[in-house]
Amino acid sequence: MTKQVIICVDDETTVLRSLKAELKKAVGNAYLIEIAEGAEEALELVEELLEKGDEVPLVISDYIMPDMKGDELLKRVHQLSAKTLKIMLTGQADLEAVTNAINYAKLYRYIAKPWQSEDLRLTVTEAINSYIQDKNLDLKNAKLQQLNLEQAALIAKLDASDRKFRAIFNQTFQFTGMLNTQGILLEANQTALDFGGLQLSDVVGKPVWECYWWTISPITQAQLQAAVTQAVQGQFIRYEVDVLGENNRTATLDFSIKPIWDASSKVEYLIVEGRDISDRKQAEAEREQFTNELYQLNEAFSRFVPSQFLQLLDKKSIADVRLGDQVQKEMSVLFSDIRDFTTLSESMTPQDSFNFINDYLSCMELALIENQGFIDKYIGDGIMALFSGGADDALLAGISMLQRLAEYNRNRAKFGYVSIKIGIGINTGSLMLGTVGGKNRMDGTVISDAVNLAARLESLTKEYRVPLLITHYTLARLQNPMEYSIRFIDKVKVKGKSKAVAVFEVFDGDEPQVQERKLATKTIFEEGLFLYHQQATKQAAQRFKEVLRLNPKDTVAQIYQSRCQFSTCCKSQLAF
């Protein structure tokens, strides 16, 4: 298996160990790091690795070594492996040595000693990435190779003395320049000049922050001036910034200022570099816009297909849902409906009806969501909601709906509107949740006797003239039924079922005065129910009469008293 090897060359063991440790942090286990204590040893190592078929992406060499100078070593490494990137690491190399290494060894970077860890890490990471990119481009892009040859031919025609210096800048696709410690621009590469539509004479000798590129805004100029001041103190500066190009074109640069030290460890020059990342920034902006649009689309879909519905079907997205997807689960089902809505809507225009319905449903929706429920569907002025967490969630939602309705009616009364009443039925049981429909249209739904029973229960609230009824199935699944105000109402038979279902009234949502009176008469009321079901209608009627004396608004007691009277009357007629 081919190994990727980074070679470090220095005649000082301590430096080698420190360099190896820094590189280990930067590249981890992805690359093997070899060290050589001299140029000859390094050349032998390179030859040995290449003979074995291994790759040497990067060589980092000191400049001052006993057996051979760093620029000569890198030149010979280049002869052995032209693709290998080279970094010269020293605090004593002069400009001529750097230029020599660039011209003859294709020097990638020059890093002064002592190096800055972050600068070294970024440089090595960029060098490895550059090596990989160059390797891939060499395989895929013959045209680019031809262009490079043409560019090399043009550069060869330049004056020899100018070439030694300007090759440092013009062989890169980055914006590159050199400043003195006062921030005066000494050199700028052709890439930077072409971007601004400038000649070298337009910018050389001026403070860099006064050059055309940076006149995009006073804030940008001040930021650059402050960055130059920091770099002169020996700091490596890097940030993203927008600059001005030809014809007021703007570009975003990954911009850096790197100090260059002289032999006495004083900052002598500043190298400024800028990589145009405008395309990346635009791609990021487009991706963010797409993500926002997708989020908004999902939000819109969730208004039609609740996210809880997808979660129960174990689907991440609406796009994953298929016709026939289904799951069986125990859930609580809540049905609610506005009493006498048809009569109420007769006095409204169609627009008024829609406004009223949407206002009312918005109010009720919060009660359901806050108690971990989700709306399966709206049925005109009715609501069908599902609760997968537990029966208590459904019951608390029903109570909250009634409490919100009381506040809603108080607001309606302020504007002269009549109060509205609703009925709520809740049942708990096993049901099938899934999708039904055809090829071109499908819908989410739930199918179960538990659903039908909840709907039947909601209709019974009209008969008993109470707002909230639950079945014994729901009652049995409450965590602590004693926390609620509950009383038994009746046993009813559902169509298609032989067993009767016990029905209970929950009156926590009643007006406080009504609730107190129902609690006060609960024992008498239940005695009346027991006697009624024992056919002792005369005694039962007495109990209900007592309930109504204490609580005249108890509609269920009124119904049972009427039943008792009717039953007693029928018995008398039969006896007669």
Per-domain residue ranges of the chain: 4-141, 172-280, 307-510, 512-575
User: 254 and 240 in contact (C-beta within 8 Å)?
Assistant: yes
The residues that bridge with 336 in the sheet, in sequence order, are: 383, 424
135 closest CA partner among 88, 80, 85, 86: 85
Sheet holding 32-36, edge to edge: 32-36, 4-9, 55-62, 85-90, 107-112
For residues 375 and 389, what is the distance between their CA atoms, to the nearest angstrom?
14
| Domain 172-280 class in CATH | alpha beta
Rounded CA separation 557/551 (Å): 9
Terminus-to-terminus CA distance in the chain, angstroms? 110
Q: How far apart are CA 33 and CA 56, in angstroms?
A: 10
Measure the CA–CA gap between 341 and 353, rounded to whole angstroms.
10
CATH, domain range 4-141: 3.40.50.2300
Contact between residue 521 and residue 503 where contact means Cβ atoms under 8 Å apart: no
Domain 307-510 superfamily per CATH: Nucleotide cyclase, GGDEF domain (3.30.70.1230)
Q: Residue holding tokens 């002592």?
A: 114
Q: What element of type H or E holds 435?
A: strand 422-437
Question: DSSP letter at 380?
Answer: T
- Four-residue CA torsion sign, 192, 194, 200, 201: negative
Q: Using an 8 Å Cβ cutoff, are 306 and 299 in contact?
A: no
Buried b (16+ CB within 10 A) or exposed e, 360-381: bbeebbebbeebbbbbbeeeeb
CA distance 125 to 153: 31
Per-residue pLDDT of the chain (576 residues; tens, 9 = 90+): 788 999 999 888 888 898 888 888 888 888 999 999 988 998 999 999 899 989 999 999 888 888 888 888 888 888 998 888 888 887 665 667 677 767 777 778 878 788 888 888 888 888 888 888 888 887 786 675 665 677 676 556 545 555 655 555 555 668 888 999 999 999 988 888 888 999 999 999 999 999 999 999 999 999 999 999 999 999 999 999 999 999 988 999 999 999 999 889 899 999 999 888 888 878 887 888 776 766 665 554 444 456 555 555 554 555 455 555 556 788 899 999 998 887 787 778 888 888 888 888 889 999 999 999 888 888 888 898 999 888 999 999 999 999 999 999 999 899 888 889 999 999 999 887 666 566 655 455 666 788 888 989 999 999 999 999 999 999 999 999 999 999 999 988 866 667 889 999 999 999 888 899 999 999 999 999 999 989 888 898 899 999 999 999 899 999 999 988 876 655 544 343
